[in-house]
Chain A
């Protein structure tokens, strides 16, 4: 991508720079956005990924859905925002942080389930149901997540550099 010099793209944005020109520059919010992404990713894999909930639709009646879908798509929204605001290199850093975090989660679930329970503690069966499947969910999730995020982050810069002076909503739809 060559340095772009487009004036007046609106929203108070100062200037448009090529991704490589902002190597190691400081950002006000980047670390918080990374933390938010990791939070959503972890929680949507550990809480709700295994639950089948129902919603009572007007004509259709009871319709089952995975509880995970309520929260997991937020990570894609944050992924979009990251690439849009900070560029591909920083989005990639966040993808690595997210991957390391879910792998640690798989390890930790395995350890906690495997620890021998005290005879007086009665939740072992519940722990096995919920955390026993975490390593498998993480494996499936890491594969899907990598494919999805890289496709998303890779497509976006092309769309932006081609249509930089189009309206913002059209850009977001392109990802």
Chain B
């Protein structure tokens, strides 16, 4: 596939610090999606009116949150594991800053003639346990996602992109759910509810990303053409604890 498209096949760790046309924008997009999907709509329960079933509730967060995994896939596929890892660390720092800032803004004493304090507390007031669970789940899930994609790309010799975008998401989202729901809700919700919500959300997120596969192909195709590269992580050191490229 890569040869037809005139892309140069390269080993990821031979790229070194080679400048990239769009990598910085992709990192910014990744951080944007991550922050917004945590701050807007994460806990809204919306409903959709299905034909036969009637009103069906769903978490509004699942609309935008999986875009972060989609971008994680695109980053690893186009730029390799090391650059995706840099984005995960940038996202990690951004989430910690978000938690700090929400806490400061909610804690500031409100002016007596300002009436938004209760709304602010409802929306931005955070339970430390849930914040911890989201940050940890994001971190582990994204690394699992990126690792699986990079390895599958080598196994499949870069063919059949959809197998690794779906495969990595199945694993990455599973790791995310297995970490997040017990860490956030075990002991607060009954075990059966933790399991039911985790499995339902995992299935919904994976399905949503499968539906978005054509978009993934379009973005990956555009970026590979712009960069002129087909990157393979054959001899990459997959440690998460590095930001070197």
Q: Which residues of A contact B45 (CB under 8 A)?
A: 117-118, 120-121
B31 near A35 with CB under 8 A, answer yes
Given contacts A26-B17, A108-B64, contact A123 B27 (CB under 8 A): no
Minimal beta-carbon separation of A39 from chain B (angstroms):
4
Q: What's the Cα separation between A30 and B44 when bound, in Å?
A: 35
Q: Report A99-129 residues with CB < 8 Å from chain B CB.
A: 100-101, 104-105, 108-109, 111-112, 115-121, 123, 125-127, 129
Given contacts A54-B109, A129-B116, A130-B123, contact A35 B44 (CB under 8 A): no
Q: What's the Cα separation between A105 and B25 when bound, in Å?
A: 16
Q: What's the Cα separation between A57 and B16 when bound, in Å?
A: 53
Asked if B28 is at the interface (CB within 8 A of a chain A CB), the reply is yes
Minimal beta-carbon separation of B96 from chain A (angstroms):
10
A120 near B23 with CB under 8 A, answer no
Q: What's the Cα separation between A119 and B45 when bound, in Å?
A: 9
Asked if A31 is at the interface (CB within 8 A of a chain B CB), the reply is yes
Q: What's the Cα separation between A40 and B86 when bound, in Å?
A: 18
Count contacts on A: residues with CB < 8 A to the other chain.
56
B interface bracket (residues with beta carbon within 8 Å of A)? 35 or more
Q: Which residues of B contact A120 (CB under 8 A)?
A: 45, 57
A-B interface contact total, Cβ < 8 Å: 162
B41 near A116 with CB under 8 A, answer no
Minimal beta-carbon separation of B10 from chain A (angstroms):
15
A26 near B40 with CB under 8 A, answer no
B94 near A39 with CB under 8 A, answer yes
Minimal beta-carbon separation of B58 from chain A (angstroms):
8
Q: What's the Cα separation between A24 and B226 when bound, in Å?
A: 14
B120 near A51 with CB under 8 A, answer yes
Asked if B18 is at the interface (CB within 8 A of a chain A CB), the reply is yes
A32 near B35 with CB under 8 A, answer no
Measured CB to CB, the residues of A under 8 A from B are: 24-26, 28, 30-32, 34-36, 38-40, 42-44, 46-48, 50-55, 62, 64, 67, 70-71, 93, 97-98, 100-101, 104-105, 108-109, 111-112, 115-121, 123, 125-127, 129-131, 134
Given contacts A43-B39, A97-B24, 14 further A-B contacts (CB under 8 A): A26-B19, A35-B90, A38-B32, A43-B98, A52-B114, A54-B109, A101-B29, A105-B32, A111-B63, A115-B46, A118-B45, A126-B119, A130-B119, A134-B40
Measured CB to CB, the residues of B under 8 A from A are: 17-19, 23-25, 27-29, 31-32, 35-36, 39-41, 43-49, 55, 57, 60, 63-64, 86-87, 90, 93-94, 97-98, 101-102, 104-105, 108-114, 116-120, 122-124
A-B contact pairs, 6 of them (CB 8 A): A34-B27, A47-B98, A62-B111, A111-B63, A118-B47, A131-B123
